[in-house]
Chains A and B, each alone.
Chain A
Amino acid sequence: DVKVTQSSRYLVKRTGEKVFLECVQDMDHENMFWYRQDPGLGLRLIYFSYDVKMKEKGDIPEGYSVSREKKERFSLILESASTNQTSMYLCASRDNQPQHFGDGTRLSIL
């Protein structure tokens, strides 16, 4: 079974802080993804990576960056957190379809 692990289930940070969300997968997948889920908006793609040190912008990359130094780990970085980044963040990985998701990090920015 594919396991995608997100380091925190719940996180509370303050406006202006630099925030790191970590994701690890155990299936040696090439591709990893970060989404955010908001009520009434579904899941929206922030960034994805198809190889170590490679990254591509998704549909809503503004205010975010990512890091992929090792194949199994994909980090999402909020450079200066703002209240409109309060959301559920979901990491996923895959080789072929489908994508497999972690359980999410519910991030609150105060």
Chain B
Amino acid sequence: GESVGLHLPTLSVQEGDNSIINCAYSNSASDYFIWYKQESGKGPQFIIDIRSNMDKRQGQRVTVLLNKTVKHLSLQIAATQPGDSAVYFCAEPGTSYDKVIFGPGTSLSVIP
């Protein structure tokens, strides 16, 4: 079966430091990955995505890295701010591509 999982369930970082959230996936055929951010009391929100023909993609303060060799992706947040405190999910398409499979999530806490 396919699964998407996270290495660390919780992460605490000092405000201003960089954060790195990791994700392992098992379906080597996945060609698209998405990171979602879920703030307390809200639904998940799209942050950034990456296709399998890329190994890096940058957004505003966020960078996603994809290593297909070891089936690993990471989300890097530069100069972490208190507003970045949330649960972060990585996700990949299911085999039918109609669905998206979400990982268990990593809770990021930013220490002021």
Q: Do A and B come from one complex?
A: no
Interface residues of A (CB under 8 A from B): none
Interface residues of B (CB under 8 A from A): none
